[in-house]
Structure 1
Amino acid sequence: MEIKKFGVIGAGQMGNGIAQVAAASGLEVLMSDIREEFTEKGRAAIARNLGRMVEKGKLDQGEADDILARVKTTVNLDDMKDVDFVVEAAVEREDLKFKIFQQLDHVCRAHVILSTNTSSIPIGRIAAQTTRPGKVIGMHFMNPVPVMKLVEVIRGLATSEETFRLTWDLCKKFNKTPAEANDFPGFIANRILMPMINEAIFCLYQSVGKPEDIDTVMKLGMNHPMGPLALADLIGLDTCLAIMETLYDGFKDSKYRPCPLLRKYVESGWLGRKSGKGFYDYSK
């Protein structure tokens, strides 16, 4: 099946990044969100990213203009009726994703693959909301999408080989490196990453070290490009908490218990970069 028109549900940081790489590969992209201000903000983010690439000499202005022109927006999920492939990149909430997939299953043509960018929710649970479980798959991009090369491709129990192969090839078309994961909470990336971040938060919670020192140890001692607390702020502390809760609920293992300080920050609205404050202050 040839994919010409690509649908993205969600115009936030992950959604607009996915839309950008899809448009850069030559596909027509339809990016949706619940309000026009969100789609406009998402398209503006793509324009800024492309502008930076022009400044760095990675694109010329004409190429950047062509990529942006291939990204259309909508606030009506029914407009996804004409797309050939969909990726959902909404907030990491199971109830919301279930509702979106129920709608997409009704709106999209029978042959269309419905993929999810979920970072932790089992694919089988999402696929069970549709009448096409064989055509539901995980397509977990890394943040920031235009920069990071990896995409986890996650099979659900019912995912067909054709669906898997087409998604794998699409990752390559996007100039990404796919890696296969099976359907367990957190998959590979976040099953390893999030407990590390959570443990770094416990170090702060128990006054083992200050944020700067915890991050410095991991950057210089373990050669990580970014410290775990700064990375948590970039990901979003609400997303980190949601993933830890999915891991804890899925495995019922105390090693996945979210740190109380993480929960406290989220409940206080300290979500990281997107709110202006997390483990670091971004208000300036």
Structure 2
Amino acid sequence: MTQKPSVIGVVGLGAVGEAMLRLVADAGYTAVGVDRELDVLARVERRMKARSGGHTWDKDGCTLTNDTALLARADVVIEAVDEDLATKVDVLRRLHSLCPNETVLLSTTASLPLPRLAIASGRPERTGGLRLFRPPVVGGAVESVFTSMSLDDAISTVEQLVAQLGLAPTAVGTHAGPLATELVYASLNRAVALVEEGFVPAQSVDTAMRLGCGLPAGPLQLLDELGLDGVHAHLSELWARTGDDAFRPTPLLTSMVRGGALGRKSGEGFYRYDDEGRAYPGGGTDGAGSDAPGAQPVARVGVLGSGTMARGIAEVCAVAGLRTTLVARSEEKARRALDSVDASLTKAVRRGKVTPDQKAGALAVLDGAEDFGALADCDLVIEATAEDLPLKRSLFARLGSVCRPGALLATTTSSLSVATCTGPADRPGDVLGLHFFNPAPVMKLVELVRTPDTGDQVMAAARAFCDQLGKVAVECPDEAGFIVNRLLFPYLADAIRLLDRYGVDIKELDDAVKDGFGYPMGPFALLDSIGLDVSLAILRCLHKEFPDGGNEPPAAIKELVTCGFLGRKSGQGFRRA
């Protein structure tokens, strides 16, 4: 039986190394953390003391040092230095010369070939890897990687260590893992670019992507967690190797790294962190802005449309106690829409999401109509029809003549210009975008889109309306895709392009993104969920607006749509439903 290791060393105390050292110490091992930078050692010691109530760490089984020689007694040493072949080889060779023959060496490389590192180390039979997509935490995913040269007892030692640290073993694969990292890192780079151009603040980006896509952390939060310098180095290597400008680090990311703002590990990145590595509260805005005096409350809502989104918005408004009128193209469509809301509320009662009294109250304030005149007294009318510009413009021309003066007129468009959709209403100061996410009764995010002419009081009333619904409003300017789709769809297009570039296995890449980064689903599963026809339409719209933004629709999605493979709704897309 393999003897349990007792002394674990960690070399390189950046984002991954510091987190790994914490896990090792918390699991009861004697831990030795090594870094050549004294300020890094001081920072880690400060955080360790903060977590332990001020105890001295070498007495608690954790030694911090810049002297690699102290690793001579280690049973396992985890190398977590910069993602550079020469640097890693140098560290592994020094460890080989210092450590006993039985010591297992582990590299945390994310992209370099492990066999090359293992051979260069001088002890290929006892050199393996821990593939980590994010800094490790208890319950976090890790893939133990070995080569054909690895000895069974070394493999057993690593598997035992992973279990003792509380990490969750996963099998990603040597091909899909680096491609998942490539895909996500390009998306993070685009998020930085959005902040850099002044489109919205970092916290607005993070809130929108976290709530709109179900991510465990927003992209700028994830960058801070990973370490801006590590991501910058990886992007630079990808850019040099591929020539793809999606990997070219943005000037803002480069300047932050040069200025020492490296994220959580340095105490400052897109957010600021205390001695325990916790983000300080505040430090940004969700785009809410300040309230304008005199904003009129919304008491009566009109919803124009009878599809999934219109029904969901009507349900949310009615549950909030607002008098709601749904207007459809015919009396029959309006009746079916109300029946659908009734059925949805019944399911919500069964799941405990609403009470029977709430359901009854919602149905009491909800009615349907086919006549635009039913919208005449509404405080807010929300157009929620198909993503078709001529249709939307024709509807807003009618709303402009029917609705009372001062009524708020909103469109739920996800990719079209709000100003262009609403222009025929001839009420530029009263229009805005309210981009709900599907399913509206479940998703918390609303992108609150302001045109150049939208009034302050209109925005204040819309924010208050979102509060009434229990939604989180994130304000953004009127540009195609707003926040979520502008970042999401280039990422999805990148995933499709990997099929041509590398012949990547669709399920393996989905699993790598989901298991490695904690995303709720991989890119291909998400495309199938959205609908390939809808995704293609959004990509075309974004590509027209941002021709250099990575939005050009790949041939594969166009061909699948032509074949009638639309995703989950048709039973077949990139994956079988």
Amino acid at match of 1:169: A
Alpha-carbon separation, structure 2, partners of 1:139 and 1:209: 37
Match of 1:54 in 2: 349
Q: Does 1 or 2 have the higher relative contact order (CA < 8 Å, sep 6+)?
A: 1
Alpha-carbon separation, structure 1, partners of 2:307 and 2:506: 27
Amino acid at match of 1:107: V
Alpha-carbon separation, structure 2, partners of 1:48 and 1:78: 27
Match of 1:39 in 2: 334
1:160 aligns with 2:455: yes
Alpha-carbon separation, structure 2, partners of 1:273 and 1:137: 32
Match of 1:252 in 2: 547
Amino acid at match of 1:113: L
Amino acid at match of 1:183: D
1:213 aligns with 2:511: no
Match of 2:378 in 1: 83
Where does structure 1 lack aligned partners over 5 or more consecutive residues? none
Q: Deviations over 1:45-88 (max 9, x none)?
A: 32233222211223222321221332222233332223220111
On the 8 A contact 1:35/1:75 being kept in 2, the answer is yes
1:122 aligns with 2:417: yes
Partner SS state of residue 145, structure 1: coil
* Deviation (angstroms), 1:254: 6.0
Q: Which range moves more in the overlay, 37-46 or 108-117?
A: 37-46
Write out the 4+ residue segments of structure 1 that deviate beyond 6 Å after TM superposition: none
Alpha-carbon separation, structure 2, partners of 1:248 and 1:27: 38
Partner SS state of residue 8, structure 1: strand
1:241 aligns with 2:241: no
355, 360, 365: which one pairs with 1:70?
A: 365
Measured at CA, do residues 234 and 46 of structure 1 come closer, stay the same or move farther in structure 2, by a change above 3 Å? farther
Alpha-carbon separation, structure 2, partners of 1:131 and 1:167: 19
Alpha-carbon separation, structure 1, partners of 2:339 and 2:311: 9
Q: Which range moves more in the overlay, 147-156 or 64-73?
A: 64-73
Measured at CA, do residues 278 and 100 of structure 1 come closer, stay the same or move farther in structure 2, by a change above 3 Å? farther
* Deviation (angstroms), 1:207: 6.6
Partner SS state of residue 478, structure 2: coil
Alpha-carbon separation, structure 1, partners of 2:346 and 2:327: 22
Measured at CA, do residues 46 and 270 of structure 1 come closer, stay the same or move farther in structure 2, by a change above 3 Å? farther
Amino acid at match of 2:484: A
161, 173, 177: which one pairs with 2:472?
A: 177
Match of 2:567 in 1: 272
Measured at CA, do residues 24 and 204 of structure 1 come closer, stay the same or move farther in structure 2, by a change above 3 Å? farther
Alpha-carbon separation, structure 1, partners of 2:336 and 2:557: 28
Higher alpha-carbon Rg:
2
**RMSD, aligned CA:** 2.1
Where does structure 2 lack aligned partners over 5 or more consecutive residues? 1-295
Alpha-carbon separation, structure 1, partners of 2:519 and 2:304: 31
Amino acid at match of 1:160: G
TM-score by length of structure 1 reads 0.90
On the 8 A contact 1:186/1:247 being kept in 2, the answer is yes
Measured at CA, do residues 247 and 173 of structure 1 come closer, stay the same or move farther in structure 2, by a change above 3 Å? same
Alpha-carbon separation, structure 2, partners of 1:265 and 1:36: 36
On the 8 A contact 1:93/1:242 being kept in 2, the answer is no
On the 8 A contact 2:416/2:480 being kept in 1, the answer is yes
Question: Identity of counterpart residues, as a percentage?
Answer: 36
* Deviation (angstroms), 1:36: 4.6
On the 8 A contact 2:297/2:461 being kept in 1, the answer is no
Measured at CA, do residues 249 and 19 of structure 1 come closer, stay the same or move farther in structure 2, by a change above 3 Å? same
